[in-house]
Amino acid sequence: METLRLSPSRMNDFTNCPQLYKYRAIDQLPEPPSIDAERGKLIHSILEDLFELPANNRTIESARDLLPKRWAMQVLDKPELSSLVLDEKEWFDRADSLLKNYFSLENPQTFESTYRELHLERTISDEIYLHGYVDRLDIAPTGEVRIVDYKTGKSPKPGWEEKALFQLRVYALLYWKNQGVLPKLLQLIYLGDSRIVKSEPTEAQLKSAEKVLNAIGQEILTAIESNHFPTKKSRLCDWCFFKAICPAHN
Ligand code: SF4
């Protein structure tokens, strides 16, 4: 059997609904662009560019300047996006408010970011290759490592933070295993409601994340071997592009 390529988003698909995982990862069915995903991509690219500027130029005005330029590049790359955004003013206003929220949470002039869109990867067993892209990884002059992920949606309700932190624990595990350095801080920056969820990872938490991801990997391998991907109906079905062809709804 081929090595299984795992990422936090594909694991998330499988735990949400094995059939959704199959449509995306096995059948690789195309999906139309989603407005929320494209907005997220736009904001991520602006924040990535921002840290390429000298520290004193990392201002909200610079971020606003990047907005139409970055959007034009995105549309050039995917022309169908122009028909997705019906009200351009509303679209830019919403993006602008997310950037404002970012500047209310962090001052990018006060620190240097070491990596943006850092690709972390590792073969974690004979059967599983794990990888992912980290939005931002900062190494302080003291050597302490902070892993940061931007979310353009709203923060999870109380009690759901642990689930949200799993993705960052997977990245922390990869960094720890590859570099031998345990990251000091994990930070989820929610621009939708201006909130930061923080966690100081422990070795025990990362080892537990490793057990969980190995278990999910084994479940996926079993599903592939038996070609059995059950549907799992939930509220997510209302946002699932494949609902029209999904056996659970037909
Ligand atoms: S519609 Fe629901 S049950 Fe069907 S694939 Fe999508 S998430 Fe799964």
Q: Which of 31, 234, 243 to mutate to test the pocket of ligand 1 (most atoms within 8 A of CB)?
A: 243
To the question of domain 4-27+113-226 being in CATH 1.20.1050.10, the answer is no
Query: For atom 2 of ligand 1, which residue has the closest CA?
Result: 237
18 CB near ligand 1 (under 6 Å):
no
Ligand 1, residue 236: give the atom nearest the CA.
7
Measured distance CA(213)–CA(223) in Å, rounded: 15
Name beta bridge partners: 128: 4
Distance 153 CA to ligand 1 centre (A): 22
| DSSP labels, 144-173 | -EEEEEEESSPPPPTT-HHHHHHHHHHHHH
Would the CB of 248 count as within 6 Å of ligand 1?
Answer: yes
Contact (Cβ atoms closer than 8 angstroms) between residue 216 and residue 15: yes
pLDDT score at 231: 98
- CA nearest to 21, candidates 39, 6, 3: 6
Measured distance CA(88)–CA(76) in Å, rounded: 16
Could you tell me if the CB of 17 is within 6 A of ligand 1? Answer: yes
Name the residue at shortest CA distance from atom 4 of ligand 1: 246
Residue 15 Cβ < 6 Å to ligand 1: no
Between CA 184 and CA 203 the distance in angstroms is 11
Q: Find out whether the beta carbon of 19 lies less than 6 Å from any atom of ligand 1.
A: yes
| Domain limits, the chain | 4-27+113-226, 35-105
Give the ranges where 51-181 is alpha helix by DSSP (H): 60-77, 81-84, 88-105, 161-179
Q: Flag residues of the chain having pLDDT under 50.
A: none
CA distances from 157 to 36, 64, 97, 131, 205 (A): 20, 30, 21, 28, 21
Q: Are 15 and 215 in contact (CB under 8 A)?
A: no
Q: Ligand 1 atom 5: the closest Cα is on which residue?
A: 20
Q: What pLDDT, on a 0 to 100 scale, did the predictor assign at position 2?
A: 80
Lookup result for tokens 């590049």? 73
Supply the pLDDT for residue 250.
87
Question: 236, 245, 250: which to mutate for ligand 1, most atoms within 8 A of CB?
Answer: 236
Q: Identify the pLDDT of residue 1.
A: 67
